[in-house]
C-alpha cells in the first residue's frame, strides 16, 4: 500500500533556530497537507498544497509540494517554544480517495 516516509523522527533545537522536515513517497499525491498536534489534542491543519512546485507560507511556516508530486517539505523559521509538538505530513490520492499520514516529527524547542 501507499506509505509516507517522514524525517526526521524527532528534533531538539534551540529557540530561534530554523527547522526543516520532509516527507517522501513512492506514490504520487494530488494534495499534500501538513498538520501539527499538541499533546492531548487532535491534529490541526497548518498548510495545504495542491500543485506540483507550489510554495505556500503561513506565518513562519513554509511548505512546498515537490515537482515529482512524491515529496513535500515544511520549514519553520525562527522557532519559538510554542512550536513544540508533533508535525505530520499527509498525502491525498484521488485514486484512493484517502489521506495517508507520515509517522510524524516530534519537535522540541529549548528556550
Partner 1 sequence: DAGITQSPRHKVTETGTPVTLRCHQTENHRYMYWYRQDPGHGLRLIHYSYGVKDTDKGEVSDGYSVSRSKTEDFLLTLESATSSQTSVYFCAISGGLAGVNEQFFGPGTRLTVL
Contact residues: partner 1, CB under 8 A: 1, 30-31, 33, 35, 40-45, 48, 50, 88, 90, 92, 97-99, 101-104
Closer residue to partner 1 in complex, CB, 19/43: 43
- Cα distances from 69 to residues 24, 72, 73, 78, 88, in angstroms, run 9, 8, 11, 28, 17
Q: Which is nearer to partner 1, 77 or 92 (CB)?
A: 92
Q: What share of the chain is helix, strand, coil (3-state, %, to 5)?
A: 5, 55, 40
CB of 29 to partner 1, least distance (A): 10
Residue 78 C-beta: closest distance to partner 1, Å: 25
Residue 68 makes CB contacts below 8 A (sequence gap 6+) with 28, 52
Cβ-based nearer residue to partner 1, 27 or 30: 30
Amino acid at each position: 500500500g501507499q506509505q509516507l516516509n517522514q524525517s526526521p523522527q524527532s528534533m531538539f533545537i534551540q529557540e530561534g533556530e530554523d527547522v526543516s522536515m520532509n516527507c517522501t513517497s513512492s506514490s504520487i499525491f494530488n494534495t499534500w497537507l501538513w498538520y501539527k498536534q499538541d499533546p492531548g489534542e487532535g491534529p490541526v491543519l497548518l498548510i495545504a498544497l495542491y500543485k506540483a512546485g507550489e510554495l505556500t507560507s503561513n506565518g513562519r511556516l513554509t511548505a512546498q509540494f515537490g515537482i515529482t508530486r512524491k515529496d513535500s517539505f515544511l520549514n519553520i523559521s525562527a522557532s519559538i517554544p510554542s512550536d513544540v509538538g508533533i508535525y505530520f505530513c499527509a498525502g491525498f490520492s484521488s485514486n484512493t480517495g484517502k489521506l495517508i499520514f507520515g509517522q510524524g516529527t516530534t519537535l522540541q524547542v529549548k528556550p
